[in-house]
Amino acid sequence: MTYARLPKIALMSGVIAILVSCGPQAPLSQEERLEQEARAKGESGSSLRDLFAPKKDFGQLGAVNKYIWNASLEVLNFLPITNVDPFTGVITTGYGTPPGGGRAYRATIYVSDPALEARSLKVALATKSGPASASTARALEDAILTRARQLRARDSRF
């Protein structure tokens, strides 16, 4: 054997190894097949590790916090809803008068984060004559966040 044939032999050995690895797989046992089907469906068996794994946050609704989202809809139920997009976290309302109030308001709510925190909520409030005062918008944000915390506390009891 000469050294000139060595690269050809190495190349042929590599091609044969690749072709052999493309062969059929060994048949799966019944248990392995069931486990593979469960993984394909998104189901998985539980294990001891599941007890210590971090819990899912069920407060999320897509990219927004479900408690802030629902609290916004509950607190502003006196306003007619014109647009709702849970994927971007925007709720837009038309003009409406709060119970016991004389001035009509319009609101745009932006839920920007899945966390139940003040930074996750932005409220833009307007009257027919222009923007509402910052203190009114802040009071509305506080009311929404308070209601969101109440909803979360109610859910955590069960």
Question: What is the per-residue pLDDT across 96-140, written as a single tens digit (0 to 9) for each?
Answer: 998 888 899 999 999 988 888 888 899 999 999 999 999 999 999
Is the Cβ–Cβ distance between 65 and 148 less than 8 Å? yes
- The confidence band for 150, taking pLDDT boundaries of 50, 70 and 90, is very high
DSSP tag of 27: P
Res 11: pLDDT = 85
The first and second tokens of residue 154, run together, are 């109610």
Is the Cβ–Cβ distance between 89 and 102 less than 8 Å? no
- The confidence band for 50, taking pLDDT boundaries of 50, 70 and 90, is low
Residue type, 40: A
Which of 29-33, 37-41, 52-56 is predicted most confidently? 29-33
Spans of all domains in the chain: 60-156
- At 88 the three-state DSSP class reads coil
Q: How far apart are the first and last CA of the chain?
A: 79
